[in-house]
Structure 1
Amino acid sequence: MKAKTLAIAITTAMTSPMIWAEVTPADLPSMIVSADFRPNDAHDTPVSLTTIDKDTIDSRGAQHIEDVLNLAPNVNVSSGASRGQYFQIRGIGERSEFQAPLNPSVGLYIDGIDFSRSGGAATLFDIESVEVLRGPQGTRYGANGMAGTINLKSTEPTNDLKMKFESTLATYNTHAEGIAVGGPLIENTLLGRFSVHSYKSDGFMDNDFLGRDNTQNRDEITARGHLKWLATDDLTIDLNVLHLNIDNGYDAFTLDNSRNSLSDQPGKDAQNTNAFALKADYRANDKVQLQSNLSYSKSNLEYSYDDDWSYKSQFDAGLDPYSGFDQYKRKRENTALEFRALSNENGRIFADTTDWTLGVYVSKQRQNLDRTYYENVLTSDAVTGYVTKNSYETVNTALYGQLDTALTDKLTLISGLRAEYWEADYKDSAGLSDEPDDLMFGGKLGLEYAINEDHMAFTTLSRGYKAGESTLNLELVMTYALLIQSHYGI
């Protein structure tokens, strides 16, 4: 049975002064992307790239990145939760996360903040653009970009006062309200923008056993803030702040693939995050540009579900059924610092033919997991269960560089290299501990040829990498086997 959804979206934009003009194809602005080290027009960026602008996001009524990723070829998203949280590009990526920690193959960045392990954070209200980069991004993004990266950029504040209001009504008791306000706090010096959005829905599942229609509900609040300080003609400082409060239900499993659940213990898919990114862009002189980015995020997450998809007395007692509930609570803390130097117009090297980039990157990520599994066998009234814990901490340190060399007026050679040292510390309640480390290299070689003003041809050979997966995953499988043996006595 197909549900027909009626959505009413009201969006207003106020600018001062108000100007109306006939728009022709020549008036349409180019999409500026940050796929490479220097912002560039999308059609001049030599990478397999899909850009999704705010008009496309609004026209689809998209609330989350899962609603627009199908526009990008060779890109998939899987959920295993209330929202799509795991990404695959060209067949490479993760589909779920349970007890084992992830070193992701596809990076997710929101305003320069790394959310590669937390795809549920990718809500779309007041997002200016989504950039999907396919293929290894070893020079720019390192270990998180083995298969590609996804970048979300929120709307920038400007010197014009702009306001936006959006309201949505739909079936399943769905409603959403959002407001965004941006403009000058001090004209030509301090600009700001703030937005807040709330999305609520009972969801499309009915739990017939509990008599509820909201066990697969969505309750999401997103708040963004952006301050841009034009300190001098040569120095710009940006502060982006993000708050997420996601408290979704998770009750999607049914034995007959219907929308009628019979679970007696519906789960949750929750995330509470506070994050910021502090960026500086300084034109030191006509030879060198200096950039820095400090980001931090702290998240509490819960993922849980009814393990048997049913209620306790649903089946014949002779089948020895059970009632199970699986819960994963995570605490994540990520810190990253990056410094970068780029050549300006008079800083080119090799007889004024080559733009250069040099950078250093350091990140520290920490995750603590508490997993609780409950079971209740029909032949006993006692609820039994066990708790497993693990902690996982990684430190990444990288040096990278890139040269863009003009061989002719139309032909450019791109060469990039990144060296990254990764070290991890893993401990769990089964007594297993390990401290693996890895030295990894990635980069690219490419040729870009400008056919004319509107067309470009390019070819790229790129290398990505991923840290320590094979060794660590083997050890986690061994840990799980020990837990099964301890719990069931086998």
Structure 2
Amino acid sequence: MLKKLLLKYAVPIRSYTFDLMIGFRMHTIMRLGIMTLLALLSAKQLSAQNNPDTLTTRQLEQVTVTAQKQTENLQDVPVSVTSFGAMEIQNLRLWNNEGLSGFAPNLYAAHSGDGRTVMGIRGIATTSYDPAVVTYIDGVLQFGLDTYFNTLLDVERIEVLRGPQGTLYGRNAMGGVINIITQQPTNTTKGFVGVDIGNYGLQRYSAGIKTPLVKDKLFLGVSGLWENHDGFFTNDFDGSKFDRRRALMGNYYLRYLATNRLAFTLNLKHNNNRNFGAFPLAGSIEQALENPFRVNQNAVTRMVDDVFNVSLSAEYTAENYTLTSQTAFQSNYRIYEEPIDGDFSPLDIVSIVNNFGREWNRVKVWTQEIRLASVRKPETKISWHTGVFGFLQDDPVRQGIYFGENADLFGSPFTDFTQITTNVGNNYGMAWFGQGTYHLDPKWDVTFGLRFDYESRELTANQEVIFGSNPPILTQGDTTGKASFNAFSPKVILSRNLAENRLLFLSYSRGFRAGGITQLSSDPGEIPLLGFDPEFSDNFELGFKSDWMDNRLRWNASLFYTLVSDVQVPILILPDAIVVTTNEGSLISKGVESELTGLIGKKTMLSWNVGFTDARFTNLNLGGEGNGEDLSGNRQLFTPDFTSSLIAQYQTDISSEKNLSLIARAEWIWIGNTYYDLANTLKQDPYHLVNSRIALRKDKLELALWARNMLDTKYVNFAYNFGAAHLGNPATFGLSARFDF
């Protein structure tokens, strides 16, 4: 009987009293921070009133978002949204999705080294290949962890929507949505060239151009990125650099205005990654922290990870409505060219084989959405949109486990053999959705939304064993599992404009994460092709948005309370690295969020985003897991109990005549207690990260020096519950240059 190691991505919860009258108790630093910023702003404003020479009309910019699939002012949207514009993305050095961690309240993102980012918002964390936080790029659903783009290139805006967004965004938007919009071509020719170099052999070269090919008719946009990194880890097995990485990414647009009402957009993206050490894992959290950035693995290979995404959109705008169609295709080919270490040790115990040709391990997804929306007009009482969505998924997975000469340490009675498991998935789904807002009067709005999803899944699997160079022996013939399920996702929002630039809203929304069928594993004790049901949540939220002091201070805050039922608990079967999922228990997540941004004088900006989450299982008993104990009351995985980001930015003109300015920026990120196993024994204590950036900007040229994790804090940002742990990045620094034209 092979030894199996289990991974559970869920944690029990004990409940505590929640007083609806006073809400949540904010941490002392939150109250002090708000009072300090208000005092600074008030003092500065009083000084300006007493000294007319210092009066300024500087205000916070209006932020435009498409969170509800229509263009709106951020402060008018009754949804908790954090928006990062192009300049903020550049200042934050957001080069991938993982970089968002901590900057939006209650958002946590990490990965085990292979580039697949695990995201969680408000205690709803990704636990399988079906994410809990869905990503959209230019309106295209990034279907799963295999097919989405992690690297960010030429981005105009990133919107982080917190809380269930299933009505408009569909499957797996239970924790929220990361909505990414890249720069698109217009009648104006513009472009950029960027170079980033840093320690650990970092080289990053990017460029792009957008131009009209035929003015007012045909437009082209092209951008590309090449990145090289020597890696952070050293392999003690042979003394080599372990996690060297190369990446090539492209984003291409072609937009055609057929008439003044009809437009077509063709968008193609690709991301080709090569990783020479995809899983730089230590054996335990203690080993990772005591001997940082060192591994000891005997089987090293290059991971090929090719992602491709193409979409065709058509938009017709009439006087009173807009009709939009979007057809998209995504694929991901991900293999290890040679067997990769499966035991993370220098011994020849097990290694993973999956290089069986391009017809295997290449996930393909087709999606189609048709949406009809009203054109918003000041005199209309009702605004609405409705539509249909469908998908087809082809998921052929073939993977082998090679048992080497030390396989007896893993409990294997034999050595020098390979067990090959084939799982072929064919899935499809369809949905209808609709949402409308009724403007009761100038102060009151009520929004109703509803979505119905139906999905069907089919998985066919077989298994064979090969001893040495002998012919394969069939141990499990073709067997097929089928499952189908449906879900309703309603939403109700009541919002009131208390005064100019003051919005209060109360909402209820239902979230849903898709169900499915678990793959066949090598463990004979596991039931093959076991189906599991969708996961559902009920989310209640009270939010407040406001601008103060002539739009020099912006404060948005929210309270949330989420109940999750039929929680999907994945179990990692090793050495297969196959996840068996079952529905177990229930979860409650509750918390508070605050986003505060203020301008102090003409030159300084302060921003503080903070979130507190208490996410615990109210019921979780896995019948023997966790030493047979009832794990109810434990905390959710990959969910810090608080996140905080404090940013100060100072900008001043060095020479007005030469149009030369200086921008200095400091960032302090504080991440709270984070757990990685059901028993809450694997834990990362609170840690701090300090970043800085100083830039000189002249006209359209910018030169910047930057540093990340300046204090070189050692911390674990991902761990499996069998002990293997991955460290967050060490101190990095570099120089960036960018020219816009």
For normalisation by structure 2, the TM-score amounts to 0.56
Cα distance in 2 between the residues matched to 1:376 and 1:280: 55
2:82 matched to 1:50? yes
Q: Bigger CA drift: 51-60 or 187-196?
A: 51-60
Q: Which amino acid aligns with 1:461?
A: Y
Cα distance in 2 between the residues matched to 1:227 and 1:31: 27
How far does residue 122 in structure 1 lie from its aligned partner after superposition? 2.0
C-alpha contact (below 8 Å) 1:347/1:355 kept by paired residues: no
C-alpha contact (below 8 Å) 1:251/1:305 kept by paired residues: no
Which of the residues 318, 322, 325 maps onto 1:292? Answer: 325
What SS does structure 2 have at the residue aligned with 1:413? Answer: strand
C-alpha contact (below 8 Å) 2:406/2:415 kept by paired residues: no
2:481 matched to 1:481? no
Q: Which amino acid aligns with 1:441?
A: F
Distance 1:476 1:343, change over 3 A: farther
What SS does structure 1 have at the residue aligned with 2:171? Answer: helix
2:213 matched to 1:178? no
Cα distance in 2 between the residues matched to 1:24 and 1:387: 68
2:250 matched to 1:223? yes
Which of the residues 326, 350, 356 maps onto 1:324? Answer: 350
Runs of 4+ in 1 over 4 A off after TM superposition: 345-348, 379-382, 473-480, 482-485
Which of the residues 424, 427, 435 maps onto 1:391? Answer: 424
Q: Partner residue of 1:273?
A: 307
Q: Deviations over 1:93-116 (max 9, x none)?
A: 324x5xxxx333221122222224
Q: Partner residue of 2:155?
A: 127
Cα distance in 2 between the residues matched to 1:451 and 1:212: 62
Unaligned segments of structure 2, at least 5 residues:
1-55, 356-360, 409-413, 463-475, 529-572, 577-741
Distance 1:292 1:379, change over 3 A: closer
C-alpha contact (below 8 Å) 2:426/2:459 kept by paired residues: yes
How far does residue 357 in structure 1 lie from its aligned partner after superposition? 1.4
2:381 matched to 1:334? no
C-alpha contact (below 8 Å) 1:251/1:266 kept by paired residues: no
How far does residue 84 in structure 1 lie from its aligned partner after superposition? 4.5
Cα distance in 1 between the residues matched to 2:249 and 2:236: 31
Q: Which amino acid aligns with 1:232?
A: T
Q: Partner residue of 1:212?
A: 240
Q: Partner residue of 1:110?
A: 137
How far does residue 388 in structure 1 lie from its aligned partner after superposition? 0.8
Distance 1:259 1:449, change over 3 A: same
Distance 1:404 1:378, change over 3 A: closer
Q: Partner residue of 1:16?
A: none
What SS does structure 2 have at the residue aligned with 1:140? Answer: helix
What SS does structure 1 have at the residue aligned with 2:228? Answer: strand
C-alpha contact (below 8 Å) 1:425/1:436 kept by paired residues: yes
2:343 matched to 1:308? yes
Structure with more contact order per residue of length (Cα contacts < 8 Å, sep ≥ 6) = 2
2:279 matched to 1:246? no
2:429 matched to 1:402? no
Cα distance in 1 between the residues matched to 2:502 and 2:315: 31
Cα distance in 1 between the residues matched to 2:407 and 2:254: 61
Q: Deviations over 1:212-256 (max 9, x none)?
A: 11x201211110011222222222222211011011132412343
Distance 1:373 1:482, change over 3 A: farther
2:488 matched to 1:441? yes
What SS does structure 1 have at the residue aligned with 2:151? Answer: coil
C-alpha contact (below 8 Å) 2:282/2:344 kept by paired residues: yes
| Greater gyration radius | 2
Q: Partner residue of 1:160?
A: 188
Q: Deviations over 1:282-328 (max 9, x none)?
A: 113x222211111111220136742222223xxxxxxxxx5221245
Cα distance in 2 between the residues matched to 1:239 and 1:233: 18
Cα distance in 1 between the residues matched to 2:486 and 2:261: 37
Q: Partner residue of 1:315?
A: none
Q: Deviations over 1:128-177 (max 9, x none)?
A: 12111111112112222122111111112122211211111111111110
How far does residue 379 in structure 1 lie from its aligned partner after superposition? 8.5
Q: Partner residue of 1:18?
A: none
Which of the residues 460, 468, 471 maps onto 2:507? Answer: 460
How far does residue 61 in structure 1 lie from its aligned partner after superposition? 2.5
Q: Partner residue of 1:317?
A: none
Cα distance in 1 between the residues matched to 2:326 and 2:208: 25
How far does residue 198 in structure 1 lie from its aligned partner after superposition? 0.6
Q: Partner residue of 1:67?
A: 99
How far does residue 24 in structure 1 lie from its aligned partner after superposition? 6.1
Q: Which amino acid aligns with 1:117?
A: G
How far does residue 356 in structure 1 lie from its aligned partner after superposition? 2.0
What SS does structure 1 have at the residue aligned with 2:512? Answer: coil
Which of the residues 68, 72, 76 maps onto 2:108? Answer: 76
Distance 1:310 1:457, change over 3 A: same
Distance 1:384 1:366, change over 3 A: same
Cα distance in 2 between the residues matched to 1:467 and 1:347: 39
C-alpha contact (below 8 Å) 1:273/1:300 kept by paired residues: yes
Cα distance in 2 between the residues matched to 1:40 and 1:81: 37
How far does residue 267 in structure 1 lie from its aligned partner after superposition? 4.8
Cα distance in 1 between the residues matched to 2:377 and 2:281: 61
Q: Partner residue of 2:642?
A: none
Q: Partner residue of 2:259?
A: 232
Which of the residues 297, 315, 321 maps onto 1:263? Answer: 297
C-alpha contact (below 8 Å) 1:113/1:276 kept by paired residues: no
Q: Which amino acid aligns with 1:55?
A: M
Q: Which amino acid aligns with 2:131?
A: P
Q: Which amino acid aligns with 1:451?
A: L
Distance 1:208 1:35, change over 3 A: same
Task: Please show how residues 347-362 of structure 1 align to structure 2 within 5 Å.
Answer: 352-362=380-390
Cα distance in 2 between the residues matched to 1:432 and 1:298: 26
Q: Which amino acid aligns with 1:481?
A: E
C-alpha contact (below 8 Å) 1:92/1:105 kept by paired residues: yes
How far does residue 458 in structure 1 lie from its aligned partner after superposition? 1.2
Unaligned segments of structure 1, at least 5 residues:
1-22, 313-321
Q: Deviations over 1:248-281 (max 9, x none)?
A: 1324123431212221112554321221111122
C-alpha contact (below 8 Å) 1:219/1:248 kept by paired residues: yes
Q: Bigger CA drift: 108-117 or 360-369?
A: 108-117
Q: Partner residue of 1:13?
A: none
Root mean square deviation, CA, Å: 2.8
Q: Deviations over 1:335-386 (max 9, x none)?
A: 11111111225799xxx52112121111112211112212213499963221
Q: How many residues align?
A: 442
Task: Please show how residues 82-97 of structure 1 align to structure 2 within 5 Å.
Answer: 82-95=114-127, 97=128
C-alpha contact (below 8 Å) 2:112/2:279 kept by paired residues: no
Q: Which amino acid aligns with 1:460?
A: S
What SS does structure 2 have at the residue aligned with 1:361? Answer: strand
Cα distance in 1 between the residues matched to 2:162 and 2:387: 22
Give the share of equivalent positions with the same residue, in percent: 25
C-alpha contact (below 8 Å) 1:205/1:251 kept by paired residues: no
For normalisation by structure 1, the TM-score amounts to 0.83
How far does residue 467 in structure 1 lie from its aligned partner after superposition? 2.5
Q: Which amino acid aligns with 1:446?
A: I
Q: Which amino acid aligns with 2:501?
A: D
Q: Partner residue of 2:734?
A: none
Q: Deviations over 1:362-415 (max 9, x none)?
A: 111221111221221349996322111101222111111111001111211000
How far does residue 480 in structure 1 lie from its aligned partner after superposition? 6.9
